[in-house]
Amino acid sequence: MNLLTIAWKSIKQRLLASSLTALSVALGVALMIAVLVINGVVGRIFSQSGSGYDLVVGAQGGSELQLVLSSIYRIGKPYDNLPWRFYEELQDYAGVDQVVPLCFGDTTSDEEGSFPIIGTLPRFFGLNYAPDRSFGIKGEILKGTWDAVIGSEVARVNGWDIGSEFKMVHGGVQDHVHDERFTVRGILAPTGTPNDKTVYIHLRGFFMLDDHAKPASEAIERIATLYGEDIGELRTKYTDLLTKEAAAQKSGQHVHHHGGIPDIQKEVTALLVLTKSPSASFFLTGKLREGVIAQAVNPVSVMYQLMQNLVGNVRYALMVLTGLIIIVSGIGIFVSIYNSMSDRKREIAIMRALGASRQQVFSIILLEAIVLTLGGGLLGLALGHGLVFAAAPIVATRSGLLIDPMHFETIELWIIPALLAMATLIGILPGLTAYRTDVAKALYD
C-alpha cells in the first residue's frame, strides 16, 4: 500500500461524486479534442490542398486569394484567363520544372451536383496534391479526347462509375448544355481536398467544345495589348481566321475548327507550376509582377494568411471556450474535494495518529485531485477521439471531408501538463486543510 492507493480508496469511497466530477473534466477535454482535431483537419485541407504546387499562375488584376481560391479550392470565379502563348512560354522558362494548365468555368448539371469541371492534361495526376500525397486512381487517366476522371464525391453523389457518361453545362448556365458527352474512365481515391468534388476532362476535349475558343478578333486584340505587338500585322497574319469568324457571325452559326482550335484562340484559366528550386519560384514571381500578363502566388502562404486571419481566430475562440469548460470542471472537483474535507478530518487525524506526516496527508489529497483530473482528462482524450472516430464516416458521407480520427494535434501534448497544473491548484487548498488538521481535536471530537 502506498499514498496513491490511499488516495484511490478515498476516491472510491465517494464514487458517485468522484465519477461525476471526473466525467465533467472528461467531457470538457473530449470537446476540446473534437474541436482540435476537426479544426486541424479543416486547417490542413485549407493550407495543404495546394501545397503540392510551388506556384499558381493566373491573370493579373485579381487578388492573390481569388486566384488560389478559384484554381485550388474551386471557390468563386477567376479574374481572367491567360493566353495559350503564355503557357507555352512559361514551359520554356529556365527555372520551371513543370507547368500544368487548368481550364475551368463549366460544371455538371444541377441534377448532377453542379460539380466544377476542369480541363487539364494527364500529367496533372502525376503531381502530388499535398506533400507526399499522390492521387490514387481507379481506371485510366485521360487517354482519349472525351475521357473524364472524377473525384470520389462526384462518383458517390451521382452514383457514377467507369463508363458513366455526362454532359457539361457551359459556364454553369443551366440552359447552355454542350452536346458532347464525356465518359468516366477514372475515379480518384478520396483525398479530403476539393479534388474529391471535381470532374477532370482532357484539355483536348475541352477546347473542342463550342464557345471554349476566344473569338479571333478579341484574341488578336488581347495579344497585341499584352505583348505590345502591332495589331495590324497580327490581323494580316490571321486574315483567314477573321474572315471565317465574320462569315459565321453573319450566318448566326458557330465557327467549326477542323483540326482543333488555333492556339491564338486558346486560353487557360490557371497554371500549376513546379519550379526547380525555391529561388526559381521567387524570381519567377518577381519577374511576372514586373509584367502585365500574369501573377504567380504560392498557394500555401496565401492560405496560411487566410487561416491565421480568419479560421485562426475561430479556432482561438473555440479553444478558449473549451478551456473555460475544463476550468469549470476543475472548480467542480475542487468543490467536491473541499466539501468532503470536513467529513474527513477524523480520517486524516487517524492517519496522522498512525504516523502519517503533514506532508503525507497533504500529498494524499493532492494525489486525489490529480487522479480525478488526470483520469477525467485521459477519459476525455479517449472520448474525444472516439467521438471523432464515430463522426468521421458520417462527416465523410455528408461533406466529403476526410477526418483521420487517430490524428493527434501537437497541442494535445499540452493537455496533460495543463491538467496536471490545474489538479495541483485544485488540490492545494483541501491539501492545506488536511495539513493543518488538529489531530488531537479531530480524534476525540
Partner 1 sequence: MSLLLQDVRKSYREPDGSPLPVLNIARFEVKPAEQVALIGQSGGGKTTLLNVISGITSPDSGLVQVDGVDITRLHEVSRDRFRAERIGIVFQTFNLLPAFSALENVLLGMTFSSRVDRKYARNLLEQVGLSHRLNHRPGQLSVGEQQRVSVARALANRPKLMLADEPTASVDMAHQDTILSLLRTACSENNVSLLLVTHSPEVSSQFERVEELTAFNKPEAAA
Question: Is 354 one of the binding residues for partner 1 (CB under 8 A)?
Answer: yes
Cα angle 60, 65, 67; round to 5: 45
Question: Is 4 one of the binding residues for partner 1 (CB under 8 A)?
Answer: no
- Among 6, 67, 268, 271, the residue binding partner 1 under the rule CB under 8 A is 6
- Among 128, 357, 397, 399, the residue binding partner 1 under the rule CB under 8 A is 357
Distance between CA atoms of 117 and 131, rounded to whole angstroms? 24
CB of 6 to partner 1, least distance (A): 7
Question: Is 444 one of the binding residues for partner 1 (CB under 8 A)?
Answer: yes
Please state the three-class secondary structure of 351-374 as a single string. HHHCCCCHHHHHHHHHHHHHHHHH
CB of 351 to partner 1, least distance (A): 7
Question: Is 285 one of the binding residues for partner 1 (CB under 8 A)?
Answer: no
- Among 17, 82, 273, 356, the residue binding partner 1 under the rule CB under 8 A is 356
The DSSP 8-state label assigned to residue 211 in this structure reads T
Question: Is 16 one of the binding residues for partner 1 (CB under 8 A)?
Answer: no
Residues 326-345 that bind partner 1 (CB under 8 A): none
Cα angle 345, 349, 350; round to 5: 120
What is the number of other CB atoms lying within 10 angstroms of the CB of residue 340?
Answer: 18
Distance between CA atoms of 271 and 85, rounded to whole angstroms? 12
CB of 347 to partner 1, least distance (A): 6
Q: Which CB atom, from 317 or from 440, has the smaller least distance to partner 1? A: 440
Distance between CA atoms of 361 and 438, rounded to whole angstroms? 12
DSSP assignments along 290-314, one per residue: HSSSEEEE-HHHHHHHHIIIIIHHH
Q: Provide CB contacts within 8 A for 107, sequence distance 6+.
A: 114, 115, 116, 117, 168, 169, 172
Q: Which stretch binds partner 1 (CB under 8 A): 10-18, 59-67, 80-88, 391-399?
A: 10-18
CB of 444 to partner 1, least distance (A): 6
- Among 359, 394, 406, 436, the residue binding partner 1 under the rule CB under 8 A is 359
Question: Is 350 one of the binding residues for partner 1 (CB under 8 A)?
Answer: yes
Q: Which stretch binds partner 1 (CB under 8 A): 1-9, 256-264, 309-317, 428-436?
A: 1-9
Per the CB < 8 A criterion, the answer to whether 115 and 195 are in contact is no
Q: Provide CB contacts within 8 A for 14, sequence distance 6+.
A: 336, 340
Distance between CA atoms of 395 and 387, rounded to whole angstroms? 12
Q: Which CB atom, from 18 or from 322, has the smaller least distance to partner 1? A: 18
Closest CA to 378 of 35, 38, 25, 34: 25
Question: Is 358 one of the binding residues for partner 1 (CB under 8 A)?
Answer: yes
CB of 31 to partner 1, least distance (A): 32
Helix boundaries (H) for 133-238: 152-158, 203-208, 216-227, 231-237
Question: Is 10 one of the binding residues for partner 1 (CB under 8 A)?
Answer: yes
CB of 350 to partner 1, least distance (A): 5
Question: Is 276 one of the binding residues for partner 1 (CB under 8 A)?
Answer: no
Number of chain positions touching partner 1 (CB under 8 A): 25
Distance between CA atoms of 85 and 121, rounded to whole angstroms? 16
Closest CA to 3 of 354, 366, 439: 366
- Among 159, 252, 355, 417, the residue binding partner 1 under the rule CB under 8 A is 355
CB of 359 to partner 1, least distance (A): 7
In the shown chain, the binding pattern of residues 159 to 198 toward partner 1, with x for contact by CB under 8 A and - for none, equals ----------------------------------------
Burial zone of 377 (CB within 10 Å; 0-12 exposed, 13-18 middle, 19+ buried) = buried
Question: Is 443 one of the binding residues for partner 1 (CB under 8 A)?
Answer: yes
Q: Which CB atom, from 306 or from 350, has the smaller least distance to partner 1? A: 350
- Among 133, 167, 244, 346, the residue binding partner 1 under the rule CB under 8 A is 346
Residue ranges that bind partner 1, judged by CB under 8 A:
1-3, 6, 9-10, 12-13, 346-347, 350-360, 439-440, 443-444
